[in-house]
């Protein structure tokens, strides 16, 4: 009965079973589809049971219909707005060296005398 559905449709369904890899959702009396664990929500899902339970009513989007194998691939996260990414805090710029001669790479031997002099001040 998968010929009643096509990719892109948004439907209401009921969770009928949960497996470690995803959840089965009944679209009608004759048709079930699978929501893969990666399609449950935005972000990483370690345990699908933390997000869904048998009997939950869910809004799903049809991703793919395979009429030959009578399978329907579904997504819950495709019906939800993606969370706004938190802006990463800007890294502090390295403080500029006080004199230009100390900028760049120097060996410890070259800098040792300068550090000793600075420590005496």
Query: Can you tell me the distance from the alpha carbon of 106 to that of 44, in angstroms, rounded to the nearest whole number?
Result: 45
**Is residue 84 domain-resident?**
no
pLDDT in tens, 43-70: 888 999 999 999 999 999 999 998 888 8
Beta bridge partners of residue 12, listed in sequence order: 59
Give the CATH number of the domain where residue 21 resides. Answer: 2.40.50.140
**Is residue 102 domain-resident?**
no
The average pLDDT across 110-117 equals 81
| Per-residue confidence (pLDDT) for residue 120, from 0 to 100 | 83
**Is residue 113 domain-resident?**
no
Query: Can you tell me the distance from the alpha carbon of 36 to that of 74, in angstroms, rounded to the nearest whole number?
Result: 7
Number of domains in the chain: 1
The average pLDDT across 18-32 equals 92
**Is residue 88 domain-resident?**
no
**Is residue 93 domain-resident?**
no
Supply the DSSP symbol for 98. Answer: S
| Per-residue confidence (pLDDT) for residue 118, from 0 to 100 | 84
H helices of the chain, in order, are 108-120
**Is residue 86 domain-resident?**
no
**Is residue 98 domain-resident?**
no
Beta bridge partners of residue 18, listed in sequence order: 23
- Mean pLDDT of all residues belonging to the chain: 82
Is the distance from CB of 60 to CB of 79 less than 8 angstroms? Answer: yes
**Is residue 28 domain-resident?**
yes
17: containing domain: 2-79
């Amino acid at each position: 009965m998968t010929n009643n559905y096509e990719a892109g449709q948004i439907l209401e369904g009921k969770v009928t079973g949960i497996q470690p890899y995803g959840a089965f959702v009944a679209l009608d009396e004759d048709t079930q589809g699978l929501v893969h664990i990666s399609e449950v929500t935005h972000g990483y899902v370690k345990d699908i049971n933390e997000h869904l339970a048998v009997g939950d009513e869910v809004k799903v989007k049809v991703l793919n219909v395979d009429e030959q194998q009578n399978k329907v691939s579904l997504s819950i996260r495709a019906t939800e707005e993606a969370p706004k990414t938190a802006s990463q805090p800007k890294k502090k710029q390295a403080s500029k060296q006080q004199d230009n001669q100390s900028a760049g790479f120097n060996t410890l031997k070259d800098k040792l005398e300068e550090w000793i002099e600075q420590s005496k001040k």
